[in-house]
Structures are given as C-alpha cells and as structure tokens.
Chain A
Amino acid sequence: MKAIIEKIKIGLTEDNRVNRNTFMDKVGQYPELDVIVTATNGHDFLEQLKKLESSLLPKVVFMDIQMPEMNGIDTIKIAKSIYPEIHFIVLTVFEDNENIFEAIRAGASGYLLKHENYFTIREAIEEVLEYGGAPMSPAIARKTLRLLGEKRNEVVTTEKSEIENLLTDREYEMLQHMINGYDAKRIGEITGISALTVRKHIANIYNKLHVNSKAQIISMAHKNNWVRPI
C-alpha cells in the first residue's frame, strides 16, 4: 500500500472565466489540493454533484455569490440541505457584507476575497475543515449579534427550537471579541480559554446562523431533481 498524501478535494463555482483561471493557477501548483468540481453556476454545480459517488464529494467548495441562473446564496441553501457535510466558502470581490451574511445564513462557513493568495486560501480550508468555521470579520460578527443577540432579551417562547437558537453567554462574549477584530488565538488569551474551545464556540454560532426551513428546501430539491436517486 502506497503512502499517499490524502489530497483535499475541493470545488469551485464561478461564472467568470478569468476568475476561474486565476483560482486554478493559484491552487493548481500545490499538490495537497485537488479541484474535482468546477462549475459555472448553481445549476451546473448541483448537476455535477449528483453524478459523484458520496465518497468522492468535495469537502470544501468555493462559491461565487453573483451568478446567472442561480446565485451563490440559493445554491448553498439547497446544496447544504442535500449534502450537509460539504463546507462552503463564498468568494467576494469587494467584501459585500450584506451578501456575505446572507450566504452564511444560507449555510456558508466563511468568506474570502477573490484575489487572495494561495496561503490565505489554504488557511481558510484548514480552518473550515478543522474548526467548522473561520472566525468572523467584525462586520459579520456585528450582524450576527444583531440577529441572534436581541432574542436573548425576549424570552417569550418556550418552543425548543427557538431556545436552541438563542446565544449562550460564552457565544455572546465571542461575538463581542470578534467585533473588536480579534482572532481566535487572541480571544483565547483574553478570555483564558483554549483557542480550540474558542473555535468550537464559533462553530456553534455558525450552526445557529444556518437556520433554514430544511423541509421546504429538501422538497424543492426533490422537485428539481437535484437529489441523487438512491
């Protein structure tokens, strides 16, 4: 048995040819990454995924937001419900915080600027795979706090699902620090907990943001025949 370095399977969905090529150039020279899916829009992406065996699915997919036919946010929403194991990182040219936040709510685990260098891309992949989510930028953390933090003060419902979506005190604290622009290591230093625990909290926050009406989306997925026939 040969000792092969397990290549990390990744995917890219990007409608602009120049951007696609730039990405491939950056990533192609490094053997650890294997780009197994290259799609030009959401439909294309879902079709390609359907044809892959479950052991051959990409682990991390880089998704452009603005695309024709089906944009990144909708694609992530649907793909995440069919293939919950895949991590999505959205690509943005100019740090469009509104869309980034919507993408995260739809199921993305982080974002990158389109023309970052290889090391930043690699770092993002590692963070997402090991910790379940990249630390949030101050703007995204602020939006998250606004969305989830307010509910802490109104304990009006006793529905289980509602309570699960409220922030814990630790998570609230994490968000405050991320608003202040600190990374996981720094947050660990300030709060006295390990960086690993910090990342776990952050991953939980991401989960709470990924609120989707799963049933609705799964039925839409079946209707549009995106789900692989068993």
Chain B
Amino acid sequence: MKIAFTMHKPVIKYIFLLFLCGIFSPAVSQTKRIESLRTLYQSTTDKSKQVDLLIQICEQHNSFSPDTLLYYYSIAKNTFPQTQLQSYQLENFYLIYMIKVGEGEKAVELSDSLLKNYQATFPKKYYMEILNNKIAGLIRKNESKAAIENSFVLLNIAEKEKDTLFILKSYTLLGWANMEIEKYTDATKWLNKGISLTTNEKLLRSVPALFSNNASCYNNLSKDDSALYFVNKALYFAKQSEHLAAVCNALNIRASINIKKDYFAFAESDMNEALAVREKIGDPFYIIADMGTLATYYAMRKMPEKGIPISMKGIDLARKTKNIPRMIYLYQTLAENYKVSNMQNEYADALTKIIDLKDTLYQENSEDALAVLQTRYEVQKKENIILQQKLKIERNNYYLAGSTIVFILVSLLIILLYRNYRHVQKIKLENLLQEQKILSREAVIKAEEAERKRIAADLHDNLGSYAAAISSNTKSIKESPAASAATIIQLEENAQNMVTQLSDTIWVLKNEQLPFTSLCDRFKVWMQRLMRNYPEIKYNFNEEIIHDLIFSPSRMLHLFLIMKECVTNSLKHSQAKEITINFYSDTEWKIEIADNGKGFDTSNYLRGSGIENIRHRVEECNWRIELESKKESGTKIRISGNTTN
C-alpha cells in the first residue's frame, strides 16, 4: 500500500519535496545535530521513519525559533502513517510552541487536556514531559505558586519512576519558579539539591538550566565566585548538548556577573556572542532578558543614549508577552539609564512604575510578601526624596567645594614634607645599621684569621723543630754509623712525634664544629695506645655528657695537648697504679685526671715538672685549673671552663 501511494502521487511528493527544500535550504544550520538529522530526513523515503526523524528534529527546539518548530510540527502532523504515541509526542511540541510565543493561557489548557488523554500504554516519561512543559508555561505566565505545586507533583512521579532526569528537571523548575519571584535563597536550595544528586554528565548535560539558574540566583545574592563557578558549568554542559538557548542564557548571566565586577571587556564579548546566537533562535522570553543585560551594561558604561532605546524595546516586548517580572527588570534598567543621564523626572517616573508593577506581581503570587514590598516601597520613596534633596544641595555647594580643595592642598603639602623628613631619618638609621653589620663581620673574619694563624704558628714551630731534629739525626747516622743505634731510636721518636703533631692538627682543622665528645673519644684512643706500654697500670674513663659543648679548633687542640701532658706527667712521676679520667659537659665543661700515685707537695713543686707549663697553658685560655695532691694519696688535676672560645 505504501508503494502504491508513492507511485500514484508523484507530483504531490515532488511539490512536497520542493516545499521542504524551500524551507530547509535558506535556514541556517544551527547545530551539528540538527544538520545531521535534516540530512537524514531528506534521504529517507520511508514515511514512518520520516515521522520519527521529524520528532527528533523537534526535540532540538531549544536551538531554533518557535516558528521553525511550528513548521516541523505541521509537516510531521501531516505525514502518515503515525502511531498514537507519535501523535501524542507531536502535540507536546505544539504545547512547547505555544509556551514559547507567550500563549500561556492556551498552553496550560492544552497541557491539561494532554495529561487527561494520557494512555497507560505510553511510557511514563511522556506524561512527565508534558507536566514539565505545563510548569514552564505556568512560570512564564507568572503563576509561580501553581508552578511550584505542580513541580512537587512531578517530583513525586519522577521519584516513583526512579527517573533521575526528571528529578533533575523538577528541581530545575522549582529553582526557576522561586527565582522568578525573587526568592533567591530558596531557589538555590532546590537547584543545589539537583546539582548534588548525580555526577552523571550525560544527565547533567540535559539540564543546563539547573546550573545557569543557580548562577543567576547567586549573582542576585552578590555571591560572585559561586555565580561564576556555576555559570561556567552551565556553559560547559549547554555546549556539550548543543542547547543553544542555554548557551545564550549562560553567556548573559556571565556577562552580568562580569559587569558587576567591572570586567567590561569580558562582558561585552559574552553579550555579543549571546546576541548572535539569540537572533538565530528568536525566543522572545529570553530576548527580553538579553536586552535587559545590554541595557544594564550601557548604563554602567554611561551610554544612556543606547541604553534607553533598548530598555524601551524590551519593555514593549515584555508587555506584548504579558511578562511582568521581565517588565520590572527592564524598567529597572531604564531607570538606571535615566539616572546616569541626569533625567531626574523620568527617573522618578520609572521608579514609580516599578513600584506599581511589583504591586501586581506580589499580589498575584503571595500575600505575605507585603511586608517585604512595603519596605522596598519605603526605600524607593526615600531614594526619590534623597535624590531631590541631593539636587538642592548640589546647586549651593560650589563655595564649600572650593574651600575644601584649598584645605586639602595645604594638608597634602604638610604631609609630603613630613614624610620626606621621616624618609631621610630612616635612611640615616639604615646606614648606621649597615656600618654595624660590616664592622661585626670584619671582627668575625679577623678572629677566624687570628685562629688560623695561631694554629699555623704552632704547627710551624713544632713540625719545624721535629723536622730539624730528624734531619740532624740522619746526618749524625751518616757521619758515625757506629753510634747510630741510639740515634735511630731518637730518629724514630722524632718522626713519630711529627706524624702525631700533624695528625692532631689536621683533626682539629678538618671540622668546623668540634664537640666535646670528639675530644673525649680521641683522648681515649690516644691513651689506649699509650697504656699498651704500661700493662701493669689500670686506667678508667667516665663521662657525663648532658650537653655536648662546641669548641673552636685551636681551643680543642690546646686542651688536648694539656691533657696529654697531664697524663704523661703522671706516668713519669707519680708511679701510680691506676689513672682515672672523668669527662663532664653541660653549661660548663670539666676534665679530671686522677691517679693514685705518690702525690707531691703542691706548695713546693719542682720547677720543670711540667705542672708549671700546664698551669700556664690553662690560664692563657682563660680556663681554671685546680690541683689536689697529698703525699702518698695521689694527685687530682681538674681543668674546667665555661666558654669554649
């Protein structure tokens, strides 16, 4: 039968096709998806497939003008065969068209009848879709209360059906409805619920309005950063799903955020892009919003000559589509422009008009907003009065202005002079501090140099004398080989001493920081080696290190040599059987060398016994030395200091 149909009516088909081409060719391809669908449609001859494709095209209604939607709908309606479900779907598109052209009353009627005619065999999502559109219609008609009621119904069904997409759509509608009656905080509550419901990008892509409405609310609540975040997300999702209307919305919202922040360049580019897209789509509801944004922009840039005509155009359009919230918005932008151009009377008139409109709006939607209304009314009345008073004051202010300027100039002069003085003082102080720094640094360098010189001098003296001794030893061996046995022993001693001296010096020079324990350890090793020659003598070490003090290289070397001398002395003279060394370090340091030898009379010690030398060395370093010795009960030498430099 299908074949017979096409064969018998080739002419009609031909004209039909021409008609289609006529529509399709000059039309601009708004989105890739639409383009591909159209190509597909043009290449199909199967009529039932054609209906399907036309339905798919209609689904992209957010990206073309209402008139275009009507065309597609008309063609589809007259394409047969079509199933009952397909007819039902097409009626939905007609509903959408009505809403877009502002026939709110008729739209709501149609939606009610469609809901009544819903067949249980149809998938539930179509019921929800129609309900969704009804709510949109209610909002556009400014019946926010009814819209909210119906949104809850939709939400319930969606939750029962576990349809996340329609849950999101319900939240979007709730947010939008609250937004239209300026209940921004409530609106964000609903919208955020939707946003946090899922992270599924595919779903979120279908409801970019969720984000753009949220952005708009935050913008009205002066929360710029949140607004910007959400509007960028909205833009992202809208572009992903090629939802041109949503792209426009988002761009405009972002523009108004940027205007508030004075980022005019960004705002301008966004608005231009939005306007360009909007022309393509041609939905009056949103065109008005665009005009509003533009008008605000012009007011901010002090270009009322552009702002006023655009505001008026917007007001006209809003009046035609009976959109009171939009009218209020456009009167506000108009008022802004009047203010900027100093047209006081027109400004006052605009403000009055706004109050009137708000009356209507609030009466239609909620009784309890009267209080809010009252306050706003008072505020705006006061603003009027203030404006008039301002005018009066301005006229008589020239004298005051003049004398103020003189006063300011004089005080500026005084401030400048004072600051100059302060600056000079500061520089002087800084110079002094610099000098101090340099001096102290020089002192440190000098001290370090003196230190090095001291060590070098010691080394020179000692090594020099050993080297000379070695040299003379070898010479005498050469000259008289017979007497060389003793000389060889001396030679070995001198050479060994030289190596030891070198080793000790390198030990202190190698490290910048020499802790007390380093001295203890090295001394123990030295003593161990030495005591191998005195196997009958016992030796002990005790240490108590609470805080390991740091010594400078020359001091540590000094102390080391002093200790060596004490022990050598004890071995030479005391005939002790046991030697004990105690090390202590905390806030001060102490070294005790005790033996149980024969002791000596401290008041009458022999010269050259080495004690004199030791005492001299200790005092040179500003350290203390205590000597305890009694005949037959041993000797105890205690060296201590509380500075290490």
Interfacial residues, chain A to chain B (CB-CB below 8 A): 93-97, 115, 137-139, 142, 179-183
B380 within 8 A of partner (CB): no
CA distance A107 to B517 in the complex (A): 25
**In-complex Cβ contact of A181 among B499, B507, B510, B524 (8 A):** B524
Given the interface pairs A94-B507, A95-B507, A180-B542, the reply to whether A138 lies near B499 with Cβ below 8 Å is no
27 A-B pairs in the complex with CB atoms less than 8 angstroms apart: A94-B503, A95-B503, A95-B507, A95-B522, A95-B525, A96-B510, A97-B521, A115-B499, A137-B521, A137-B524, A138-B520, A138-B521, A138-B524, A138-B525, A139-B518, A139-B521, A139-B522, A139-B525, A142-B517, A142-B521, A180-B524, A180-B541, A180-B542, A180-B543, A181-B524, A181-B525, A182-B541
* B241-286 residues at the A interface, CB under 8 angstroms: none
CA distance A115 to B495 in the complex (A): 12
In the bound complex, residues from chain A placing their C-beta under 8 Å from that of B540 are 180
CA distance A163 to B503 in the complex (A): 40
B528 within 8 A of partner (CB): yes
Q: A95-B503, A139-B518 are in contact. List 7 more A-B contacts (CB 8 A).
A: A94-B506, A138-B524, A138-B525, A142-B517, A142-B521, A180-B543, A181-B541
Residue of B nearest to A96 (CB): B510
In the bound complex, residues from chain A placing their C-beta under 8 Å from that of B542 are 180
Closest chain-A Cβ to B157's Cβ sits at a distance in Å of: 58
In the bound complex, residues from chain B placing their C-beta under 8 Å from that of A179 are 521, 543
In the bound complex, residues from chain B placing their C-beta under 8 Å from that of A183 are 528
In the bound complex, residues from chain A placing their C-beta under 8 Å from that of B483 are none
**Is A181 touching B527 in the complex (CB atoms < 8 A)?**
yes
CA distance A180 to B517 in the complex (A): 11
In the bound complex, residues from chain B placing their C-beta under 8 Å from that of A139 are 518, 521-522, 525
* A-B pair number, CB within 8 angstroms: 39
Closest chain-B Cβ to A176's Cβ sits at a distance in Å of: 10
Interface string of B508-551 (1 = CB under 8 A from A): 00100000011011101101100000000000111100000000
**Is B503 touching A137 in the complex (CB atoms < 8 A)?**
no
CA distance A115 to B502 in the complex (A): 13
CA distance A97 to B524 in the complex (A): 14
In the bound complex, residues from chain B placing their C-beta under 8 Å from that of A93 are 503
In the bound complex, residues from chain B placing their C-beta under 8 Å from that of A95 are 503, 507, 522, 525
* B297-319 residues at the A interface, CB under 8 angstroms: none
Residue of B nearest to A116 (CB): B529
Interfacial residues, chain B to chain A (CB-CB below 8 A): 499, 503, 506-507, 510, 517-518, 520-522, 524-525, 527-528, 540-543
Residue of B nearest to A115 (CB): B499
In the bound complex, residues from chain B placing their C-beta under 8 Å from that of A142 are 517, 521
CA distance A189 to B14 in the complex (A): 122
Closest chain-B Cβ to A173's Cβ sits at a distance in Å of: 15
In the bound complex, residues from chain B placing their C-beta under 8 Å from that of A182 are 541
Residue of A nearest to B496 (CB): A115
Closest chain-A Cβ to B596's Cβ sits at a distance in Å of: 18
CA distance A149 to B518 in the complex (A): 19
Residue of B nearest to A141 (CB): B521
Closest chain-B Cβ to A118's Cβ sits at a distance in Å of: 14
Residue of A nearest to B511 (CB): A98
Closest chain-B Cβ to A122's Cβ sits at a distance in Å of: 14
**In-complex Cβ contact of B528 among A94, A96, A97, A181 (8 A):** A181
CA distance A142 to B583 in the complex (A): 15
Closest chain-B Cβ to A207's Cβ sits at a distance in Å of: 23
Closest chain-B Cβ to A120's Cβ sits at a distance in Å of: 9
In the bound complex, residues from chain B placing their C-beta under 8 Å from that of A137 are 521, 524-525
Closest chain-A Cβ to B140's Cβ sits at a distance in Å of: 68
CA distance A125 to B527 in the complex (A): 22
In the bound complex, residues from chain B placing their C-beta under 8 Å from that of A94 are 503, 506-507, 510
CA distance A153 to B524 in the complex (A): 28
Instruction: Return the 5 tightest CB-CB contacts between A and B, nearest first.
Output: A181-B524, A139-B521, A138-B521, A138-B524, A180-B541
In the bound complex, residues from chain A placing their C-beta under 8 Å from that of B541 are 180-182
CA distance A183 to B507 in the complex (A): 23
Residue of B nearest to A183 (CB): B528
In the bound complex, residues from chain B placing their C-beta under 8 Å from that of A115 are 499
Residue of B nearest to A178 (CB): B524
CA distance A70 to B280 in the complex (A): 78
Closest chain-B Cβ to A2's Cβ sits at a distance in Å of: 37
In the bound complex, residues from chain A placing their C-beta under 8 Å from that of B507 are 94-95
Residue of A nearest to B583 (CB): A180
In the bound complex, residues from chain A placing their C-beta under 8 Å from that of B520 are 138
In the bound complex, residues from chain A placing their C-beta under 8 Å from that of B517 are 142
Residue of A nearest to B538 (CB): A186
CA distance A181 to B540 in the complex (A): 8
Closest chain-A Cβ to B64's Cβ sits at a distance in Å of: 68
Closest chain-B Cβ to A123's Cβ sits at a distance in Å of: 10
CA distance A133 to B507 in the complex (A): 25
Residue of A nearest to B518 (CB): A139
In the bound complex, residues from chain A placing their C-beta under 8 Å from that of B524 are 137-138, 180-181
Closest chain-A Cβ to B515's Cβ sits at a distance in Å of: 10
Closest chain-A Cβ to B383's Cβ sits at a distance in Å of: 70
CA distance A179 to B518 in the complex (A): 11
In the bound complex, residues from chain A placing their C-beta under 8 Å from that of B522 are 95, 139
Closest chain-A Cβ to B544's Cβ sits at a distance in Å of: 12
CA distance A229 to B597 in the complex (A): 65
Closest chain-A Cβ to B146's Cβ sits at a distance in Å of: 67
Closest chain-A Cβ to B542's Cβ sits at a distance in Å of: 7
Closest chain-B Cβ to A181's Cβ sits at a distance in Å of: 3
Closest chain-B Cβ to A22's Cβ sits at a distance in Å of: 13
CA distance A96 to B506 in the complex (A): 10
Closest chain-A Cβ to B577's Cβ sits at a distance in Å of: 15
In the bound complex, residues from chain A placing their C-beta under 8 Å from that of B543 are 179-180
Closest chain-A Cβ to B495's Cβ sits at a distance in Å of: 10
CA distance A171 to B376 in the complex (A): 86
CA distance A181 to B543 in the complex (A): 11
Closest chain-B Cβ to A135's Cβ sits at a distance in Å of: 10
